[in-house]
Structures are given as structure tokens and as C-alpha cells.
Amino acid sequence: MAYANRHDSGLAVLLLDLDGFKYINDTLGHQAGDQVLIEVSRRIRLVIRQADTLARIGGDEFCIVATDLRKPSDALRIAQTCLDSLRRRFSLPNAITR
């Protein structure tokens, strides 16, 4: 926030929670769940800017801190791009089903 104030720019904190993640762990196992988390983070990192911060803040929760935003719609664009990247089918080649 201090950076945004100093540079007279916007800042957005985006929170992402994975729906159905518990079901993946319960039915396919924690190894499959770990693969999903890795793939989610990979996809998000590919679409956010290098200066933005991505963090996993809980079991299935992620946070993106985006700085240097010029208008509120910039945050919406980032959120939509992330969601679009996660809509593609996930393949879990190393998952061991129970």
C-alpha cells in the first residue's frame, strides 16, 4: 500500500479459492491434490505480471497482489485472465486413484 501511495498508482488484492478441492483430495488422494495446486500456481504465474505477487495462503486458497494499476478495471482484467486460465481441463498424469 505504501508503494502504491508513493507512486500514485492502484493496488489490488485478489483472493482465489478452489471449489471442489476437498473432493479431489478425498477421492484421488493428496498426491493428485498437490498436482492440482502446482498446476494452478503455474497457470496463474503465466498470466500475471512478473512484478505481481502470488501466494498460497491456505490449503486451496491463493492471493494475488497486483501493483501499478491505473484504473479499477485493470484488477478485473487480471482476475478474468486468471479465471480463464483455470477453466481449461486439468490432466493429472501422475495421480494415483484409490
The dihedral sign for the CA sequence 65, 70, 75, 78: negative
Which residues participate in catalysis according to the annotation? 60
pLDDT at site 8: 80
pLDDT of residue 96: 55
Give pLDDT tens digits for 17-47: 999 999 999 998 999 999 999 999 999 999 9
Q: Do the beta carbons of residue 32 and residue 25 sit within 8 Å?
A: yes
How high is the pLDDT of residue 16?
A: 96
pLDDT at 35: 93
Instruction: State phi, psi for 17 to the nearest 5 degrees.
Output: -120, 130
The predicted-structure confidence for 47-77, as pLDDT tens digits, reads as follows 999 989 999 999 999 999 999 999 999 999 9
* Secondary structure E strands in the chain: 10-17, 53-56, 61-69
Distance CA 69, CA 16 (A): 19
* 4 pLDDT above the threshold of 80: no
